[in-house]
Amino acid sequence: MTSLGTVRLWQAACTACLFSALALAVLCPSVALGQQKRYRPLPDYVQLARPDQTEGRKVLEAFRSAGAGDAFYLEFQLRVLPRRGPERRVTGRLWDAKIDSVAHRRLELDPPQNDEGKSLTRLLVVGGSSPKVWRWRQGRVPALETLGGSSFFDRLGDTDLTPFDLQMPFLDWPEFEFEGVRKVRGRPAHSFLFYPPAEWSVWQPTLTGVRVFLDTQYNALVQVEQLGDRGVVEKSVSVLDLKKWGERWMVKTIDVRNEVTRNKTRFSVTAAALELTFAHALFSPEELGSALLPPETGLTRVEP
């Protein structure tokens, strides 16, 4: 073959390679551009050596199973405390039950006073391996909507509280690291770092991990930190105080703080009824349009 023929053959080969590369870039942009590996925060161990992970798993399993079969009802107040601007308050009700070991929560939010643009809103939040959210809004067409997974991070009633904060699905995420025992607000607490499964990373790309603190004495939730890029805390949920309802300790007041905007929402329980039994049909999307009444017995009211 002549030198000219060799050059032309080489040019044809290069052209074919170029078109192949362009086709690959169109069909598989993540491959062509080199998909970046997602950031994964490192555990912050309390001690030099890695803590006993088997012991940590036992602590977590005990927390997961505590009150697993109890259904309850709450009435609450959301006090919005923005860094700038006037304070607002939103009231609501919550029905909670485990159905086939999966957490189901029905939430009802009243419209803010003197705001005609808002309406009564009801949400059904289902946890488990296939979490789902449905929303019903009074006076809207359609009234009932099936929301995508990203809706777990939608703000409720223009507050900083989200279905993700309410449902706490991260407590069931399979991948976690036990970091040991450290003091949180003066009390010893077990520290766990949970890593989001793939679908949660799609729904909330900025979420890289969730750190959870459990009180060592009461085996109760103390604080939650949602981690963003480089492990920076972007949101914190802190339990301010507990109350004993009958024979069971439950959260009474929680602060939800956006560490980026510095806005805060205070969740305060104003009434509770425990050890209830609800018909499973109450937690179906089709029933969101029907009003539910508070329990007739066992309801205890407290000041927010």
Q: Are residues 21 and 137 in the same domain?
A: no
Q: Are residues 209 and 287 in the same domain?
A: yes
Q: Are residues 28 and 58 in the same domain?
A: no
Q: Are residues 20 and 156 in the same domain?
A: no
- pLDDT band of 158, cuts 50, 70, 90: confident
Half-sphere exposure of 169 (CA within 13 A, CB side): 23
Average pLDDT, the chain: 84
Q: Are residues 231 and 168 in the same domain?
A: yes
Question: What mean pLDDT is predicted for residues 234-251?
Answer: 86
Domains of the chain: total: 2
- In sequence order, the 6+-apart residues with CB closer than 8 A to the CB of 14 are none
Q: How many CB atoms lie within 10 A of CB 236?
A: 16
Q: Are residues 19 and 114 in the same domain?
A: no
Do residues 48 and 248 make contact, with C-beta atoms less than 8 angstroms apart? no
- Note the pLDDT of residue 191: 98
Burial of 5 (0-12, 13-18, 19+ CB in 10 A): exposed
User: Is position 47 within any domain?
Assistant: no
Q: What is the pLDDT of residues 180-226, one digit of tens each?
A: 999 998 899 999 999 999 999 999 999 999 999 999 998 889 999 99
- In sequence order, the 6+-apart residues with CB closer than 8 A to the CB of 73 are 93, 94, 95, 96, 272, 273, 276, 294, 295, 299
The backbone torsions φ and ψ at residue 180, rounded to the nearest 5 degrees and listed phi first, read 115, -165
Distance of CA 265 to the CA centre of its chain: 15
- Note the pLDDT of residue 185: 87
User: Is position 40 within any domain?
Assistant: no
- pLDDT band of 296, cuts 50, 70, 90: confident
Do residues 105 and 95 make contact, with C-beta atoms less than 8 angstroms apart? yes
Q: What is the pLDDT of residues 77-104, one digit of tens each?
A: 999 999 888 999 999 999 999 998 889 9
What CATH number corresponds to the domain at position 125?
2.50.20.10
Q: Are residues 9 and 115 in the same domain?
A: no
Q: Are residues 10 and 82 in the same domain?
A: no
CA angle 156, 274, 154 (to 5 degrees): 10
Query: What is the domain extent for residue 10?
Result: 3-33
